[in-house]
Each structure stands twice: as structure tokens, then as C-alpha cells.
Amino acid sequence: MSESQGMNEFIPAFQFIRRTVTLKPAVALVLGSGLGGLADAIAGRHAIPFKDIPDFPTAKIVGHAGNLVFGTLSNIPVVAMQGRVHFYEGHPMSKVVFGIRLMRLLGAHTLITSNAVGAINKKYKVGDFMIIRDHLNFQGDHPLRGPNPDALGSRFYDMSAAYDPHLRAQAARLGRKLKLRLHEGVYAACMGPSYETPSEIRMLRKLGADAVGMSTVPEVLAARHMGMTCLSISFISNMAAGVTKFALSHEEVMEAGRNAGNGLQRLVIELLKTVDLPDRTHSTPGDPVTPTPSRQGRSSNRRA
């Protein structure tokens, strides 16, 4: 894959957004199941439906609004994915992480994601939060499989501290201050869409997982490839299969997420107030290469 090929797929979306929004985000947010309400706290919000953005995959899961929201939180320019797309919906990994890569190209250097998870750790309770310390990838694919888009990042890159220790420590301190029930643990990403079996949960527990979900890991893999600083916070929406005798349901996840929204919102807002980000203005240094159409790019990306 050439450098132009690595960038050209983002040109229509990038140009569409730049014609619509002038704000240049410093922080990117991904808001998962039942937790999209944080987008309503964004000041001066400008929401663009995923379906209106060229080549942007659409979210089809209940509870994922499907908007890209621009504005400010704690005086920091942000862009938020209100909802996400999942690998189990049939999207290729390149589409699952399309929004992450686009937000980085728009200027965001820090990624904060949220998700709803099932607790494997028996010490966790529904309503708790977990800061992700590390992950296990059981989705059977990787967003960087295939030719490397060299313009976005190097072929091989380090994941020894994928979830930034400084941001994790700050989030933990603020969580205690806000009196949230907050843990730090390992997230296991499975393909879905079915919930895991009790035997799979026992296996994941033996491998060191504290919680399980169906997202986030591809997003962090793509973000780290592009040099972003990452923090991920999980909401414990249910106990995983076999941990209790009760059956699992998406409605349970949604209801728990709605109840958790206020706590997550307060945590993220306070975090953005205190974290030493490189810039608190409407521009950010150190942007990756801005996608600009080559002659080949204009031809290959013309929409029918």
C-alpha cells in the first residue's frame, strides 16, 4: 500500500467535515452502549450523523445514536463518536476503526473510550467502573492485518503501555474523589454478538481477564498505530455468564448504561479539567499528514 493509498480513503470524509466544522479537536471520545448521553454535555455541539459522512460506516445497534459530535468539554475541543460500529455487524476491521483514524487525522491526539462490559471478576458489581489496564484480543482479526498504511503509522509498533499509565492514575484519583466504585483490570474482547458461555468465562478468568466485551480493542490498536494516547473506561452492566444464575440480555445492558451515564460524564469532564494535555485551544500540534487528494486519489474516490 502506497502512502497516497493509505490516505486517500479518508479524503471524502475529511473534506466533508472540514466544509462543515471548523473546530479542530484535541481529544477524541468513543461513547458506547447506553453511555452516549455524554455527548449532550458538549458545549457548542455540532452533530453530524454517521450516514451523512462519506464512507463512514453506520451504527445499527440499539443504544448507539450514530453521530459524530464536535464541541468543547472543560474548554477542550473534542470530537465524540456517539455510538460505534462493531466487528460482529459484518464490517471489515478497516471500517470498524475508520472513525478512530478519521478523528486522528482531524487533529485529535488523545483517545478516551467507554464501553459496557460483563464482569468476570467476582469482586465487581453491576454499576461499578473499570479502568482498562491491558487487554486480551479474542476477536480473531486485527485492523492492521494486510498492507500497512505507512502514512498513518509504522508496520510494527509497541503495545506494552497501550492504555496510558498517567491517564489511568488520574482517572483513578478522580474516581475516588467522585466516590465512584472504580477498579482497574484487564478487558477481554470477544467477537460476539452472542454473549460468552460459562465455560468461556472460566477460561478468560484463568487467563487474567476481569471483564469481557465486544469492542474497544480494535479502536485502541488503530489509535496506538497512529500515536494516540489512550484511556478506556468500562461500565459493569452485568455479571458475565455463569458468574450468577441469571440470563443475560441487551435490555439489561442498556438500562444499566443509562443509570451509569451521569457517573461517567462527571469522571470524563473532571479528567479533562486536570489532565495536562498538550493544548487547550482550538488547534493541536503534531498532527499526522493531512489527507490531500492526489490526481489518482480524486479519480479512485469519485462517488457514483
Q: According to the model, what pLDDT value does residue 7 have?
A: 78
Instruction: Examine the residue annotation and report whether 161 is marked as an active-site residue of this protein.
Output: no
Q: According to the model, what pLDDT value does residue 259 have?
A: 62
Least confident of 79-93, 171-185, 228-242, 243-257: 243-257
Instruction: Examine the residue annotation and report whether 228 is marked as an active-site residue of this protein.
Output: no
What predicted TM-score, i.e. pTM, was given to this entire model?
0.87
Superfamily of the domain at 3-115+123-133+140-185+215-234+243-292: Nucleoside phosphorylase domain (3.40.50.1580)
Give the residue, 257 or 55, on which the prediction is more confident: 55
Q: Which of 39, 64, 223, 270 is catalytic?
A: 64
Burial (Cβ within 10 Å: 0-12, 13-18, ≥19) of residue 132? buried
Residues 161-182: tens digit of each pLDDT: 999 999 999 999 999 999 999 9
Q: Which of 9, 39, 59, 86 is catalytic?
A: 86
Q: Which of 8, 33, 121, 237 is catalytic?
A: 33
Instruction: Examine the residue annotation and report whether 94 is marked as an active-site residue of this protein.
Output: no
**Mean of pLDDT over the chain:** 85
Q: Which of 81, 119, 214, 260 is catalytic?
A: 214
| pLDDT, mean of residues 180-197 | 95
Q: Which of 4, 47, 88, 254 is catalytic?
A: 88
What number of H helices and E strands is found in the chain? 9, 9
Burial (Cβ within 10 Å: 0-12, 13-18, ≥19) of residue 281? exposed
Q: Which of 4, 41, 89, 148 is catalytic?
A: 89
Q: Is the pLDDT of residue 133 over 80?
A: yes
Q: Is the pLDDT of residue 194 over 90?
A: yes
Residues 23-63: tens digit of each pLDDT: 999 999 998 765 677 888 899 999 999 999 999 998 666 55
Q: Which of 80, 116, 188, 239 is catalytic?
A: 116
Instruction: Examine the residue annotation and report whether 93 is marked as an active-site residue of this protein.
Output: no
The number of residues making up the chain comes to 304
Residues 54-94: tens digit of each pLDDT: 999 986 665 546 899 999 999 999 999 998 889 999 999 99
Give the residue, 287 or 76, on which the prediction is more confident: 76
Q: According to the model, what pLDDT value does residue 177 have?
A: 95
C-beta of residue 84 within 8 angstroms of C-beta of residue 215:
yes
**Domain ranges (residues) in the chain:** 3-115+123-133+140-185+215-234+243-292
Instruction: Examine the residue annotation and report whether 232 is marked as an active-site residue of this protein.
Output: no
Instruction: Examine the residue annotation and report whether 88 is marked as an active-site residue of this protein.
Output: yes
Q: Which of 9, 226, 238, 270 is catalytic?
A: 238
Give the Cα separation of 104 and 51 in Å (integer): 19
Q: Which of 46, 91, 250, 282 is catalytic?
A: 250
Instruction: Examine the residue annotation and report whether 33 is marked as an active-site residue of this protein.
Output: yes
Instruction: Examine the residue annotation and report whether 214 is marked as an active-site residue of this protein.
Output: yes
Q: According to the model, what pLDDT value does residue 265 have?
A: 87
Q: According to the model, what pLDDT value does residue 35 have?
A: 65
Instruction: Examine the residue annotation and report whether 47 is marked as an active-site residue of this protein.
Output: no
Instruction: Examine the residue annotation and report whether 163 is marked as an active-site residue of this protein.
Output: no
Give the Cα separation of 110 and 78 in Å (integer): 10
Q: Which of 74, 114, 215, 237 is catalytic?
A: 215
